[in-house]
């Protein structure tokens, strides 16, 4: 049986967007990240992040992996399981298959983890995040944290718009796309 999931952007959504984060010591979680994700214990959680700094030479793939692993480890220590972290290392001009808003990683999760994309959510602070939701047949929630306020005028798709991950979790918990036990 397929199950719903929440696909979370990393920078600006779960953690502060401080540019090209090279070291786990630079990670600063948003104040509501832990409490919000604990409320989503009944859905599969994933992180989907574009890290174009790798392609630009501003960040090494190993540095991005260490930061991603640190985020997942901190969440696990708080009782929050992230099933997988998907990281696109390309620039938009590379025209790869994995950069948001292309649904490649969500399709991988659908196959490998039995995810029901029609009953899933994508949460992020860039228009590409909610466009990703649309492209995968999921529902998008746009957060105004991170770069959300700055990029809000660029939104071209209908989605929920909220202040932060805390409000996004409330919408998902109350969502009509699946029943919360």
In this prediction, residue 63 carries a pLDDT of 97
Q: Would you place residue 171 in the very low, low, confident or very high pLDDT band (cuts 50, 70, 90)?
A: very high
Q: Would you place residue 109 in the very low, low, confident or very high pLDDT band (cuts 50, 70, 90)?
A: very high
**Is residue 17 annotated as a catalytic residue, yes or no?**
no
pLDDT at 1 over 60: yes
Entry pTM: 0.94
In this prediction, residue 174 carries a pLDDT of 87
In this prediction, residue 175 carries a pLDDT of 73
**Is residue 164 annotated as a catalytic residue, yes or no?**
no
Question: Which of the residues 9, 17, 129, 164 is marked catalytic?
Answer: 9
| Segment 29-45 mean pLDDT | 96
pLDDT at 181 over 50: no
Question: Which of the residues 11, 17, 129, 164 is marked catalytic?
Answer: 11
Which of the listed CATH numbers 3.30.300.210, 3.40.50.1000, 2.30.40.10, 3.40.50.300 matches domain 8-115?
A: 3.40.50.1000
Instruction: Using a pLDDT cut of 70, give the percent of the chain over it.
Output: 97
Q: Domains of the chain: which residue ranges?
A: 8-115
User: Between vectors from CA 128 to CA 124 and to CA 129, what angle results, nearest 5°?
Assistant: 30
């Amino acid at each position: 049986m397929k199950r719903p999931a929440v696909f979370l952007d990393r920078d600006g959504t779960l953690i502060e967007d401080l540019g090209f984060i090279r070291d786990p010591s630079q990670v600063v979680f948003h104040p509501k990240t832990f409490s919000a994700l604990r409320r989503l214990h009944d859905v599969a959680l994933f992180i989907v992040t574009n890290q174009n700094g790798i392609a630009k030479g501003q960040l090494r793939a190993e540095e991005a992996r260490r930061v991603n692993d640190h985020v997942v480890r901190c969440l696990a220590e708080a009782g929050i399981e992230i099933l997988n972290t998907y990281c696109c290392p390309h620039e938009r001009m590379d025209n790869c298959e994995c950069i948001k808003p292309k649904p490649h990683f969500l399709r991988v999760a659908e196959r490998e983890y039995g995810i029901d994309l029609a009953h899933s959510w994508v949460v992020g602070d860039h228009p590409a995040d909610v466009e990703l939701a649309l492209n995968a047949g999921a529902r998008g929630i746009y957060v105004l944290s991170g770069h959300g306020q700055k990029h809000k005028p660029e939104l071209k798709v209908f989605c929920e718009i909220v202040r932060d991950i805390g409000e996004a979790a409330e919408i998902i918990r109350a969502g009509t796309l699946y029943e919360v036990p």
